[in-house]
Structure 1
């Protein structure tokens, strides 16, 4: 639940900032008549993202158990690759997010109101599709039931509230620190999703070593205990971890964390983001 809350919070806040920047720019340039197209684009992006999430959840249900495990494992590893790319992309280029969106919106304005809708759909829809894939993979890694979904919904709802507060100038939030630290936490979560993907491919017989355990601590860390559930939700700690899972987790988390820390905190300090702009100004970017 906690992992899904963090994913929903971070990804939802990114999307909320994108919408806030678009709305503020249209207001600033005197094109409030196009705000309706922005909201239509947001609605379409949400609908597409929900449909994609439903496809991921219910699509493989008619397949054999081995096929389901193969699909779950493959898509989980794909989600880790996309999540890693997104984390580093945000760390390196987020300070230019506002100017990039302005450029896209300026180009869309020359194409008419429907071009604005398409530009919004693409900008928000990318965040939505990424979020659907990440949440689906993290939910599979942290267990079934309603808790992963509840965590995701709470995270998204919190992101919407924070995004609206930042846009209206009612919430002060250091976005640079927020995205820097949540990015590091997502690296650890992604390591758990990778371990889960390896496990599923081993169960499907695609990868070897399913019976070769690196450790079995189920006696001291029962999966049904509150602390076992907590660790499962935070870092997807599997009490019965195979050697391949352990090696994959270590080979991913350790170097990725090191490169991420170097990327975010290793260079010269960037100017601090403005955290509470007035309502007629654009929300703070992540620089």
Structure 2
């Protein structure tokens, strides 16, 4: 539940902030007549994201055991690739995303109603598709549906409330610190899902080493204990971990976390205060 709540909070806040930036731009420029088109695009993006999640679930249920393991393992690796790209992408564009969205919406308005709907759908849909794939992989790794779904919905709900409060100026959030902290946590969540995906592929016979364990701490950390469930739910920790799983987990965390925490080079020239951080601090 906690791991999926983090996914919902992080992805939901990104999507909610995108919507808030678009809405604030239209309100401030006295173009409220365009708001229904933006909301229509947002609704389409949400519908497509839900449809992708349902399609993945139905596809997985219709497969044989070996095919399920192959499908789930492959999708877990794809999901980790998505979330890794998203973490670094948000760090790179957070300072300019607000101006880019406003510029894109300005061009879309000039092109016509359909362009506005499509622009809003694409802006939110990217986050939605990433969330769908990553959430599906996380649910498969957790081995259940109720807990992860509840956690995910809680995270989405909190993200919407936060975005609204930021929009109204009630809450001032340091977006740089927020995305850094959640990014670090997501690295460990993604590492667990990656290890789970590798285990699936081992069970499917596509990767070797299923019976070669790096460690077995099931006697110390029972899978059905509260702390075992907590570790499983947040980090996808398995008391019985194969050597390949352990190696993949360690390499992913070592490489991705090091690159993520390394301070990116920034140009010496000052930027205009139109970035996402400024939006969050000034009232959208």
**Which stretch has the larger CA shift, 225-234 or 267-276?**
267-276
How far has the Cα of 1:245 moved from its partner?
A: 0.2
How far has the Cα of 1:268 moved from its partner?
A: 8.9
- State how far apart, in whole Å, the 1-side matches of 2:36 and 2:174 are: 30
Q: Does 1:221 align with 2:183?
A: no
Structure 1 segment 23-42 matched on structure 2, within 5 A: 23-42=23-42
- State how far apart, in whole Å, the 1-side matches of 2:62 and 2:259 are: 41
How far has the Cα of 1:145 moved from its partner?
A: 3.2
How far has the Cα of 1:60 moved from its partner?
A: 1.8
Deviations, residues 208-263 of structure 1 (Å, cap 9, x unaligned): 00010000111111111100001111211100000000000011111111110004
The residue that corresponds to 1:169 in the other structure is 169
Contact 1:16–1:163 under 8 Å retained in 2:
yes
Q: Is the partner of 1:110 in helix, strand or coil? A: helix
How far has the Cα of 1:137 moved from its partner?
A: 0.9
Deviations, residues 185-204 of structure 1 (Å, cap 9, x unaligned): 10111100100000000000
The residue that corresponds to 1:146 in the other structure is 146
Question: TM-score, normalization: structure 1?
Answer: 0.93
How far has the Cα of 1:53 moved from its partner?
A: 0.6
The residue that corresponds to 1:236 in the other structure is 236
- State how far apart, in whole Å, the 2-side matches of 1:245 and 1:88 are: 24
Say what the alpha-carbon RMSD is for the aligned residues: 1.7
Contact 1:170–1:276 under 8 Å retained in 2:
no
- State how far apart, in whole Å, the 2-side matches of 1:93 and 1:30 are: 27
**Which stretch has the larger CA shift, 53-62 or 215-224?**
53-62
- State how far apart, in whole Å, the 2-side matches of 1:75 and 1:160 are: 27
Equivalenced residue count is: 278
The residue that corresponds to 2:81 in the other structure is 81
- State how far apart, in whole Å, the 1-side matches of 2:76 and 2:244 are: 16
Deviations, residues 114-151 of structure 1 (Å, cap 9, x unaligned): 21111000000111111111111112122313000000
The residue that corresponds to 1:46 in the other structure is 46
Structure 1 segment 254-265 matched on structure 2, within 5 A: 254-263=254-263
Contact 1:168–1:277 under 8 Å retained in 2:
no
Structure 1: gaps spanning 5 or more residues? 283-287
The residue that corresponds to 1:186 in the other structure is 186
- State how far apart, in whole Å, the 1-side matches of 2:253 and 2:238 are: 16
- State how far apart, in whole Å, the 1-side matches of 2:229 and 2:263 are: 32
Structure 2: gaps spanning 5 or more residues? none
The residue that corresponds to 1:128 in the other structure is 128
Compared with structure 1, are the counterparts of its residues 250 and 268 closer, same or farther at alpha carbon in structure 2 (3 Å cutoff)?
farther
- State how far apart, in whole Å, the 2-side matches of 1:70 and 1:216 are: 24
Contact 1:88–1:260 under 8 Å retained in 2:
yes
- State how far apart, in whole Å, the 2-side matches of 1:138 and 1:263 are: 29
The residue that corresponds to 2:105 in the other structure is 105
Q: Is the partner of 1:238 in helix, strand or coil? A: coil
How far has the Cα of 1:89 moved from its partner?
A: 0.8
Question: TM-score, normalization: structure 2?
Answer: 0.94
4+ runs deviating over 2 angstroms: 266-278
